[in-house]
Structure 1
Amino acid sequence: MKENFLHYVWRYQKFDTNELKTSDGASVKTIKTGFAHSNSGPDFQQAKILIDEMEWNGAVEIHIKSSDWNRHNHQTDPNYENVVLHVVWKNDEPIQHPDGSKIPTIELKDRVDYNLIEKYQNLQSSQDEIPCGGHWSEISGLHKSEMLEKALIERLYQKSEKAKNHFENGTQNWDQASYFMLLSAMGFKVNQHPFERLAEILPYNLIKKYSSSIFQLEALLFGVSGFLTQDFEDEYPNQLKKEWEFLSHKHKATLGSEMHLHEWRFLRLRPANFPTIRIAELAQILHVFPSLFDAFVIDMDLKSIQKRLKVKVSDYWLNHYQFDKESKYRNKQMGQNSIKTLVINCIPALLALYANGVGEEKYMDKAIGLLNDLKAEKNYITQKFTDLGETLNTAFDSQAMIQLHNEYCQPKKCLDCSIGLSILKA
């Protein structure tokens, strides 16, 4: 038995309430279960309970065993002084308030339908990546769409949280927040964290000063990234190194310490996805967008953004993937799939952050509309849902499925998912 299951049982009153009595024999009726409370303190707040015909207003605390009350040191915590009912699976020990008065306790172990327990245990013990996969075809479209919309909104806010902290703790500049989101997305999955580090060390206001010069942008980006610490055979990286030494000295009060090469990952990446190529592409993007925030949020136009993101790297990188390592000439350009992934991972979350920041719902609508305008991603997670017969048409669908899989299916938070709840209620 798990405590979160008892939370569900109490919240939805999924137990036999006939002739319900406390451990002392007092009759109990629930007027109001209370509001689930996830912070420190009792589990449910503002409950209304009728005990021997007397109405009590306060909190309800849930435990597997009544003795957990003392084991969790609630008896000395003033936050628990307003508990009017203790709901437990097994009542193994009488519990008291600090003043010595008994806390009314009800035991549920003989009042919950075994079929409900079995359904829950089957979901929790499932070896499938999607625990409810065996029931997927039986679940109504309404429950699915309701949960997927919830998951999508959660994902947008979750993605924007880092940028929010970056915005609030820094200059409170929306271009800086946009810059952070762009760099976080530029790392894709493998190099996301080093690109975020780069955004923290190299502020956007300094990038802005040199945005008209690709050479100086590359000197700043490759310099801060730690790629210009050695002597090179090729002329171009030596020129970048010389420019970086000048710029780093000029702006030493603004720049943080440069990164180390070991932070960047090359292993098992296609050469076109090497961080060196991504940084060269980033320099071009920062060059063609005078204001990231205006382009991504205020004047957001998907076709225009996609066209402008289709950047070509500077001449040196046409026959190089790394410094001093010549390769076959190739007209390197960010591909459509990379552009789609970049847009999905950057702009909708930024729109959601701005919508929340200024209180204008239209920007959240723009975020959702943007995802609905883009085709669904294809990866091993989306394939799991496709195998269940689900159709994924847009990025709204795929992003929602990814969130559902990562935040609900994998940790088996079925009781927090309307799909899981619908199975238990069936």
Structure 2
Amino acid sequence: MKEEFLHYLWKYKKFNFSNLKTTNLLPIVLEQVGEHNQMNSGPDFFNTQLVIDNQKWAGNVEIHSKSSDWYVHHHECDPAYDNVILHVVWENDVEVFRKDNSIIPALQLKDYIDKNILSQYQKLFQNKDTSWIQCEKQLCDVSDFIIFNWQERLYLERLEQKSELIKELLYKSSNDWETVLFKLLAKNFGLKVNSDPFLSLANSFDFSVLRKCSNNLKYLEALFYGQAGLLNSDLDVPYVKELLQYYEFLKNKFTLKNHGVLPFQFFRLRPSNFPTIRISQLANLYFENKKLFSKIITTSDLEKFYKLFDTSTSDFWKTHYTFDKESSARKKKVTKSFVHLILINTVIPIKFLYAKSQGKDVSEEIFGLISQLPVEKNTISDKFISLGVNMEDALHSQSMIQLKNNYCDKKACLKCSIGNYLLNREDSLG
């Protein structure tokens, strides 16, 4: 029996606690299960309160599959366990003694567990490792209401997780939100393949340099392409030669270095996603929009976001995907689907954390915005749809990514609302 399940049973009192007895048949009255210690070393539950044989105890509880695990884990040598008042076990196979040779009272939990929850637990965890998720055969039994409520909490959890990178960037930029926005946008413009190279590009110069170049599109492109190491002096292309001249000027003026910029990938990318195209679009975005951060923070309407990010490349890239090869003329605008990615991965997370830093609640605005975006097409959302999960918008697809990566893959069913529902439903439903 997994200890994680025993923690769950104790924490939520999923057992018959009306007539508890120690393994030595002393009556137990459980008053408070205590605080679950999920992160730190030491006993599993702190500040438990209970009465054993009319004696009131306050202290800690340790939980094991077998009582002999106490010695396997060498708790007898650790003073952190001196204040354990009850040893909760699935099977009591050996007595455990304190330093004064008194026996630590033990509760054998298997004698009190609800048979229904044990049956559901076995069904949930009997799937082999080949299963995509533990509950894939039972997921169709879970109502949309339960899933939708869980999805909202999962999405907020995902925003909190995405906030960690933003906090790190804020720390490194002395809380300059405009700088952080640029770095997040650059990372987003690189998509999955080039996200790290684009972020390294954005990190290779101070944002003040971008501000000083923002009135001249050629300066911005020269800055970006030059720092990216994509300008080849051997090419006999007027546009390249012009950018090289501008870049040499900027390089000397601002003492630019690009040693830490990662190489950009073109392999297996659609031409519209080539870093050359995305860099020009990013340069145009900042050429056309001064104080972009304030515009994003004050905008909540989807159509206005479409207009804000309605940018394209410079003229050279209308007939090129790379510097050295000409192609048929085509205007390469940022598409609506790409704007959706920008909103999901950059705009909404930064609006969320900024509002939080200001002590404001914008959850209604954020839920309203993410709910207007279509379901993302990826292997995770497609699989959940095939299992019968109703997916209506990007909030649902984002939440299911969070669910798969942070719960299903880790078999953390006991921390999942779906897993909890399946554990506690009646046998007749299974």
Answer yes or no: is the 8 Å Cα contact 1:225–1:258 preserved in 2: no
Which residue in 2 is equivalent to 1:340?
340
Which residue in 1 is equivalent to 2:198?
195
Answer yes or no: is the 8 Å Cα contact 1:294–1:300 preserved in 2: no
Which structure 1 segments of 5+ residues have no match?
Answer: none
Q: Name the amino acid aligned to 1:291.
A: K
Alignment CA distance shift 1:78-1:235 (3 Å): farther
**C-alpha deviations, 1:67-100, integer Å up to 9, x for none?**
3334434444444443322222233443345565
How far apart are residue 350 of structure 1 and its match?
Answer: 0.9
After the TM superposition, which of the residue ranges 194-203 and 107-116 deviates more from structure 2? Answer: 107-116
How far apart are residue 115 of structure 1 and its match?
Answer: 4.7
Alignment CA distance shift 1:78-1:351 (3 Å): farther
Answer yes or no: is the 8 Å Cα contact 2:201–2:262 preserved in 1: no
Which residue in 2 is equivalent to 1:47?
48
How far apart are residue 281 of structure 1 and its match?
Answer: 1.2
Alignment CA distance shift 1:292-1:55 (3 Å): farther
Alignment CA distance shift 1:335-1:6 (3 Å): same
Residue aligned with 1:132, SS: coil
The question of 1:176 aligning with 2:179 is answered yes
The separation in 2 between residues aligned to 1:291 and 1:78, in whole angstroms, is 58
The separation in 1 between residues aligned to 2:11 and 2:56, in whole angstroms, is 19
The separation in 1 between residues aligned to 2:241 and 2:30, in whole angstroms, is 76
Which residue in 1 is equivalent to 2:391?
392
Which structure 2 segments of 5+ residues have no match?
Answer: 426-430
Answer yes or no: is the 8 Å Cα contact 1:163–1:180 preserved in 2: no
Answer yes or no: is the 8 Å Cα contact 2:173–2:180 preserved in 1: no
The separation in 1 between residues aligned to 2:23 and 2:258, in whole angstroms, is 63
Answer yes or no: is the 8 Å Cα contact 1:67–1:93 preserved in 2: yes
The separation in 1 between residues aligned to 2:374 and 2:4, in whole angstroms, is 37
Alignment CA distance shift 1:421-1:290 (3 Å): same
Alignment CA distance shift 1:52-1:241 (3 Å): farther
Which residue in 1 is equivalent to 2:86?
85
The question of 1:160 aligning with 2:160 is answered no
Which residue in 2 is equivalent to 1:359?
359
Residue aligned with 1:103, SS: coil
Q: Name the amino acid aligned to 1:82.
A: N
Q: How does 1:24-173 map to 2 (within 5 A)?
A: 24-41=24-41, 42-97=43-98, 101-113=102-114, 115-126=116-127, 127-173=130-176
The separation in 2 between residues aligned to 1:256 and 1:268, in whole angstroms, is 25
Residue aligned with 1:157, SS: helix
The separation in 1 between residues aligned to 2:386 and 2:47, in whole angstroms, is 44
After the TM superposition, which of the residue ranges 84-93 and 347-356 deviates more from structure 2? Answer: 84-93
The question of 1:243 aligning with 2:246 is answered yes
How far apart are residue 110 of structure 1 and its match?
Answer: 4.2
Answer yes or no: is the 8 Å Cα contact 1:36–1:45 preserved in 2: yes
The separation in 1 between residues aligned to 2:153 and 2:192, in whole angstroms, is 23
**C-alpha deviations, 1:308-354, integer Å up to 9, x for none?**
31211012211222222322322111112111122121111112111
Percentage identity across paired residues of the two chains: 38
> What is the aligned length?
422
Alignment CA distance shift 1:84-1:238 (3 Å): farther
How far apart are residue 271 of structure 1 and its match?
Answer: 0.9
Which residue in 1 is equivalent to 2:284?
284
Which residue in 2 is equivalent to 1:419?
418
Answer yes or no: is the 8 Å Cα contact 1:348–1:367 preserved in 2: yes
The separation in 2 between residues aligned to 1:409 and 1:299, in whole angstroms, is 35
Answer yes or no: is the 8 Å Cα contact 1:203–1:255 preserved in 2: no
The separation in 2 between residues aligned to 1:94 and 1:247, in whole angstroms, is 76
Q: How does 1:258-277 map to 2 (within 5 A)?
A: 258-261=260-263, 264-277=264-277
Q: Name the amino acid aligned to 1:149.
A: E
The separation in 2 between residues aligned to 1:97 and 1:238, in whole angstroms, is 81
The separation in 1 between residues aligned to 2:45 and 2:316, in whole angstroms, is 63
Taking only aligned residues, the RMSD between alpha carbons, in angstroms, comes to 2.5
The separation in 1 between residues aligned to 2:102 and 2:200, in whole angstroms, is 55
How far apart are residue 150 of structure 1 and its match?
Answer: 0.9
Alignment CA distance shift 1:172-1:74 (3 Å): farther
The separation in 1 between residues aligned to 2:99 and 2:238, in whole angstroms, is 78
Answer yes or no: is the 8 Å Cα contact 1:351–1:366 preserved in 2: no
The separation in 1 between residues aligned to 2:126 and 2:265, in whole angstroms, is 36
After the TM superposition, which of the residue ranges 85-94 and 347-356 deviates more from structure 2? Answer: 85-94
The separation in 1 between residues aligned to 2:110 and 2:309, in whole angstroms, is 60
Alignment CA distance shift 1:327-1:95 (3 Å): farther
Q: Name the amino acid aligned to 2:242.
A: Q
TM-score of the aligned structures, taking structure 1 as reference length: 0.90
Residue aligned with 2:21, SS: coil
The separation in 2 between residues aligned to 1:3 and 1:196, in whole angstroms, is 42
**C-alpha deviations, 1:192-250, integer Å up to 9, x for none?**
22222233333323222211222111122222223236632323223323332332333
Which residue in 1 is equivalent to 2:259?
257
Q: How does 1:306-385 map to 2 (within 5 A)?
A: 306-361=306-361, 363-385=362-384
Which residue in 1 is equivalent to 2:428?
none
